[in-house]
Amino acid sequence: MFLTMLCLAPGALGQTSGVISYNGPDVNSEESESMHMPDYLRCDACRVIAYKFTQKLDKMTTRPRGRGEKELLLLSEIIEGLENICDEDWKDTGVKEVEGVKRLSGPGLETKEVPGVTASGQKWPQRLHEMCHMYIGDIGEEQLYGIFKRERNLEKFMCHRKNGHCHPKNLKVKKVNDEL
C-alpha cells in the first residue's frame, strides 16, 4: 500500500512545494490469516479497549438521571454499555508502522496522531471484538465499573498490572525489519 500527498504552499494555489509519501504496513501471514491478535499488538489493543470502556462509562455516569441527580448505574446498564463497545465495528482501529515498529492506531493511542497509512478492516475488527469480550469475561462488568468509579480510568488496571499485556514482563514489540 502506498499513499502520496501533495502539499501546497500557502498563497500559491496550484504550485506544489513538496511531496510526502507514506507506505502502508507490510502485513505478514500472522497478521493477515490468524484469527487472534498478534502478541506484539495486544498492549495497544488493550489500551484501545480500556479507553473505549472508560469513555462509555464516563458518558453513562455523567448524564443526569431522573430528577437531575446522578445515580449509580444498574448492572443491566453496565452490561449493555460495555457489550455495545465490544460489538462496535472497530473501523477506527488498524495497524500502522510507527518509527519502524508495527503498532495499532486508534482511539486513545498516541499512534492515532502519527502521520501514516493505517491498514484496518480485514481481521482486525474480529480480533478486537474477541479481545474486548475476553476482558469482560475475565474481569467482569461489575468489577470494571467498580474500578472506573474509583480511578476514572481503566487502562492501568486492565493493561499495566502484573498480568496485563502492557506490563514490562509481558510487553512484546515487532520491528518491521524483524520480518526480513
Does the pLDDT at position 72 exceed 80?
yes
Does the pLDDT at position 5 exceed 70?
no
The pLDDT score that the predictor gives to residue 129 is 96
Does the pLDDT at position 62 exceed 60?
yes
Long-range contacts of 22-31 (CB under 8 A, 24+ apart): 22/115, 22/116, 22/117, 23/97, 23/117, 24/96, 24/117, 24/118, 24/119, 25/1, 25/95, 25/96, 25/97, 25/102, 25/117, 25/119, 25/176, 26/176, 26/179, 27/95, 27/119, 28/179, 31/95, 31/102
Q: What is the pLDDT of residues 10-46, one digit of tens each?
A: 544 455 566 555 555 555 555 656 789 999 999 999 9
The pLDDT score that the predictor gives to residue 58 is 95
Q: Report the amino acid identity of residue 122.
A: Q
- What sign does the dihedral 167-152-128-28 (CA atoms) show? negative
The pLDDT score that the predictor gives to residue 43 is 96
Q: What is the pLDDT of residues 74-94, one digit of tens each?
A: 999 999 999 999 999 999 999
Residue 57 has which C-alpha cell? 462509562
Nearest to 94 by CA among 121, 115, 114, 113: 121
Q: What is the pLDDT of residues 123-171, one digit of tens each?
A: 899 999 999 999 999 999 999 999 999 999 999 999 999 999 999 988 8
Does the pLDDT at position 116 exceed 60?
yes
Write the secondary structure of 43-98 as one string of H (helix), E (strand) and C (coil).
HHHHHHHHHHHHHHHHHHHHCCECCCECCCCCHHHHHHHHHHHHCCCCCCCEEEEE
Instruction: Kindly indicate the confidence band of residue 120, based on its pLDDT and cuts at 50, 70 and 90.
Output: confident
Cell numbers 474477541 correspond to 130
CB atoms under 10 Å from CB of 146, counted, come to 13
Residue 13 has which C-alpha cell? 494555489
What is this structure's pTM?
A: 0.79
Is residue 128 within 8 A of residue 90, CB to CB? The reply is yes
The pLDDT score that the predictor gives to residue 19 is 57
